[in-house]
Amino acid sequence: MLLVVNSGSSSVKLAVFDGMTLCAQTQVDRIGSGGPADHGTALTLGLERLAVPAARLQAAAHRVVHGGAALTQTCRITPEVEAEIAACASLAPLHNPPALSGLRAVARLWPAMPQYAAFDTAFHATNPDVATAYALPLAERDRGLRRYGFHGLSYDAIVRKMQEMTGNALPKRLLSFHLGNGASACAIAEGRSVASSMGFSPLDGLTMGTRPGSLDPAVVLDLVARHGAEQTTQMLNRASGLAALGGSNDMRALHAAGTPEAAFAIDHFCYWAARHGASLCAALGGLDAITFTGGIGENDGIIRSKIVNQLAFLGAVLDGEANAQGATALHAATSRVAIWTVPADEERQIAMEAGSVMRQEEGLG
């Protein structure tokens, strides 16, 4: 059996797979905001909930958000790989440290258990140089300052699930939204990522739960001059986004609040999602389909409606009843663009990729 650990910015998802059969799963939410104090505590709680005998676990596989330029495919965790993950921690401070906490906690519990890492940046390795290069001096680009893109395991799973849903007829030009506490959009051409709203770190792009999304670099310079680098880092990662605009990073709470600030935060979230999405359509050269995934993308019909309505000029038209019911197919009969909700399936994607590496190690791949 394989234990899959998906440590997000505010949650930990755990799943146990026997082959590709899901045997048990649990999720611990609201870490640091009314729930467990930290990811280590959340992981311990989640393992207790799973109630799977430790003797049956053969390996563990972890979602790691930032693999940098070196880690572009799923691999076994060695001291060298762990060091690379740690070196990228400052680039994904809400994610890589929790992932490290998770893999170290598993190592403490089961020292002999082999562990594997799957990287959110890997799916975007197919982006062309023109999409990833910053217009900076060569010396700065050579030391790794570039766009990486994130949520790649989610987008990879979307490609797989779309093929299952449509009988392998994958849309040629797909705009995919991953909307949750972390949020991004991705341009997928014939199953391959060609552009992402996120950049060097998961701070860029859409408005998020506690992250601001795209900022003029001069804003960051001003904040650092006024508050220092450490306080600015905390502000941009933990005290911005929906929380700063509307008073909460939980979209459900914003809907319920009924305040002008909460309404503005919701509008800001949708405006920038649609605006970045439209930009990604230029990288695709058009649009054939839109998908929504993630906690907000899958469950919030109001958010989907606001975003799609802003993209109506591209030919996207929602079926209002299907959207309200949370159906899988959301497009109206008159829509020139297919619109789908696709349940997040990162844990199975991680299990598939880790299983492939394990089979290769055994000489079976």
Q: Chain centroid to CA 142: how far?
A: 26
Nearest CA-CA partner of 204 in 274, 150, 135, 134: 150
- Any idea what the Cα angle at residue 162 is, between residues 295 and 342, rounded to 5°? 15
Looking at 18, 120, 156, 204, which residue is catalytic?
Answer: 120
Strand, coil or helix: what is 343? Answer: coil
Torsions phi, psi for 192 (to 5 deg): -120, 140
Interaxial angle between packed helices 96-109 and 79-87, expressed in degrees from 0 to 180 and rounded to the nearest 10: 150
Give the C-alpha separation, 156 to 169, whole Å: 16
> Could you write out the DSSP letters of every residue in 157-207?
HHHHHHHHHHTT---SEEEEEEESSSEEEEEEETTEEEEES--SSTTSSS-
Determine the Cα–Cα distance for residues 342 and 39; give it in Å rounded to an integer. 27
Q: How many angstroms from the chain centroid is the CA of residue 212?
A: 16
**How many CB atoms within 10 Å of residue 54?**
10
- Taking the CA atoms of residue 187, residue 148, residue 96 and residue 17 in that order, the dihedral angle to the nearest 10 degrees is 50
Q: What is the DSSP string of 217-281?
A: HHHHHHHHHHH-HHHHHHHHHHSSHHHHHHS-S-HHHHHHH--HHHHHHHHHHHHHHHHHHHHHH
Can you tell me the distance from the alpha carbon of 130 to that of 147, in angstroms, rounded to the nearest whole number?
10
**Is 300 an active-site residue?**
no
Catalytic residue numbers, as ranges? 120
